[in-house]
Amino acid sequence: MAGYLILGAGKFGHLALQRLHLRSPRSEFWLVDFNPQKLSDVTLKDSATHLVGTDAIAFLEEALNWASPPEWIIPAIPRHVAFNWLWRRRPPECRWHRVEAPAEVGQNLPFRQIGAEGELYLSLSTVLCPDDCPSPADSCYLTGFKRPFDLYGYLENLSCRDYSSLVVRSQQLAPGVGGYRPADLWHLWEQVLALTGKILISTACRCHGVSHCIQTD
């Protein structure tokens, strides 16, 4: 039986719960949000759906250490979950610093924006995607235009001087719902510990992504 950990009970967290439950009604679900009001709005309530009122990143760290962790992690909060999980558990003996992403990353993409905490948002689209996008393999669902490449592939194959580029791929689990497995986060963790210097850390699907950059000594 699959287990889904949905981080965030806003619009997209609710949609993820509804659509994944429809596809996999016998699965177990955890919906996590710090705001109890958002959890109280959940209409789907059964013994296999757990509503958890706490910080999403803290609960993710706990859940990944369960004997049987959830099979899938679905980020639905306005934070870069993979990076924040990584940063939260950074070893005290290691010196990690947040640094700016390389200026050349994403300059040739339709959308590039720096966030409030220095994170880099990238997209192959300049229009708002529908919340039920099925993510076709070769083209944009909304416009029909052929996709020149997948964004996760673009980030994985970056060649920036003095930077390593690590990517967690978000996989399509239902229309408009993406996620990754715990093993993907543990692999990211092992990769970062094995590197020194500047590291671009990204989560991306075919069309959209978010990146943070750190320097390790």
In the predicted structure, residue 217 carries a pLDDT above the cut 90: no
pLDDT, one tens digit per residue, over 19-76 is 999 999 999 999 999 999 999 989 887 889 999 999 999 999 999 999 999 999 999 9
The CATH label, of 3.40.50.720, 3.40.50.920, 3.90.550.10, 1.20.1260.10, for the domain at 1-78 is 3.40.50.720
pLDDT, one tens digit per residue, over 1-24 is 579 999 999 999 999 999 999 999
pTM above threshold 0.85? yes
**Distances from the Cα of 34 to the Cα of 48, 83, 167, angstroms:** 20, 19, 27
Residue partners of 164: CB distance under 8 A and separation at least 6: 195, 197, 198, 199, 200
pLDDT, one tens digit per residue, over 131-162 is 999 998 898 988 888 999 999 999 999 988 88
- The C-alpha R_g of the chain, in whole angstroms, comes to 17
Minimal CA–CA distance to 168: which of 29, 99, 72, 70?
Answer: 72
How is the chain split into domains, by residue range? Answer: 1-78, 79-217
Cβ atoms of 201 and 189 within 8 Å: the answer is no
The tokens of 76 are what? 């639905």
Read off the DSSP letter of residue 180.
Answer: B
Predicted confidence band of residue 181 (pLDDT cuts 50, 70, 90) = very high
Per-residue pLDDT at 43: 85
The residues with which 96 forms a beta bridge, in sequence order, are: 216
Collapsed DSSP state (helix, strand, coil) of residue 119: coil
Per-residue pLDDT at 2: 78
Amino acid present at 36: P
Long-range Cβ contact pairs of 125-130 (< 8 A, separation 24 or more): 125/207, 125/208, 129/207, 129/208, 130/176
